[in-house]
Amino acid sequence: MELNVEDLRVNIGSTEIVKGISLKGESHKFTGLLGPNGSGKSTLLKAIYRVLKPSGGVVLMNGKDISLISEKERAKNMAVVSQFNQVSFEFTVKEIVMMGRTPHKRRLEQETIEDYEIVSDALKKVGMESYSKRKFSTLSGGEKQRIILARALAQQPKILILDEPTNHLDIKYQLQVLSIVKQLDICVVAALHDLSLASMFCDTIYMLKDGRVMGQGKPEEVITTEMIRDIYDVSASVAIDEKTGQLAIQYMIS
C-alpha cells in the first residue's frame, strides 16, 4: 500500500504552514521527513492522518482520496504514533495495546485468542512484555513511547506514520524502535530529527524548511554539508565511513 501527497497546503489561522508539499510513501519503504523546528513536519503529518484539514491538495491512499475513506477503513490500514498521544492514565499497558485491535473488530465484538496473541507479540517486539499489567501512567516517557508503538503494531497497519518516534528514547531503544519499524517492511513515513539515524534507516528523505520541500532523495543525496548549512544554518562535514559504509556527520561550532 502506498501514500501519495499532492500539493498539500495547510493553514493554521491565517498563516499557511504547509505550502504545497508533494511526497510519496512507497510500499516496503521507509520515508523520512527532516527539517528544523517549526518547518512543518508535524503539521504535514497531521494533515495526512486527518487531524488537520488541508486547505488544498490531496492525500491518496493506494490512489483513493483519504478524505473519502471512512475512519474505520483508514484505521485498518494506517497507524499513527504521534508526539502527544492522548492516552487515559487509567488503562493498563495491555488494555492500551489491545486498543490497536479496535479497527479490525465489529462493535461490541469480544477479543479473540488471536487478538491476545497479537498484543502479546507486539509487547514482545518492543521489549515490554513484562509490563502488561502496569498502569500506563506509571511508565517512564520512553516506556510509554514503546507502548504506543506496540499499540500501532497491534493495529497491523500497511502504512505507519511516525512523528518523532524516538524523542524520549535512549540510544539503544532509538535503534531498537527504528529497527522494528524497518523490519515491518510496510510503507513508513516518519518525521525524525537525528540525521545519522535518518541516514541509517530511511530509503528516501524529504528535507523541509518553512513549509516547503527543499530537497529529496536517498540519504547520501540529501544529507550533505551544503544542505545542513542551508537548512539548519550549521557547519558540518559529511563523509562515508569506510568501515561501516554509513554516513558520518561531524558538526562544527562556528
Ligand X SMILES: Nc1ncnc2c1ncn2[C@@H]1O[C@H](COP(=O)(O)OP(=O)(O)OP(=O)(O)O)[C@@H](O)[C@H]1O
**Can you give the binding site for ligand X, defined by CB under 6 A?**
12, 17, 35, 37-43
Q: How far is residue 197 CA from its own chain's centroid?
A: 13
CB of 169 to ligand X, least distance (A): 16
Beta bridge partners of residue 80, listed in sequence order: 161
DSSP code at position 150: H
CB of 58 to ligand X, least distance (A): 19
45-81 b/e with 16+ CB inside 10 Å = b? bbbbbbebebeebebbbeeeebeebeeeebbbbbbbb
Q: Which of 97, 64, 93, 94 is nearest to 79 (CA)?
A: 97
Question: In terms of CB distance, is 96 or 208 closer to ligand X?
Answer: 208
Question: In terms of CB distance, is 17 or 96 closer to ligand X?
Answer: 17
Q: Report angle CA 217, 223, 229 to the nearest 5 degrees.
A: 125
Which positions ≥6 away from 52 have C-beta within 8 Å? 10, 12, 43, 46
Question: In terms of CB distance, is 43 or 155 closer to ligand X?
Answer: 43
Question: In terms of CB distance, is 74 or 209 closer to ligand X?
Answer: 209
Question: In terms of CB distance, is 23 or 93 closer to ligand X?
Answer: 23
Give the dihedral of Cα atoms 91, 94, 95, 98; nearest 10 deg: 150
Name the strands in the sheet holding 78-81, side by side, starting at the edge strand that comes first in the sequence: 78-81, 159-163, 187-191, 30-34, 204-209, 212-217
CB of 98 to ligand X, least distance (A): 29
CB of 46 to ligand X, least distance (A): 8
CB of 211 to ligand X, least distance (A): 7
Question: In terms of CB distance, is 96 or 223 closer to ligand X?
Answer: 223
CB of 19 to ligand X, least distance (A): 11
CB of 138 to ligand X, least distance (A): 27
Per this entry, what is the length of the chain?
Answer: 254
Place of cell 471512512: 70
Question: In terms of CB distance, is 18 or 119 closer to ligand X?
Answer: 18
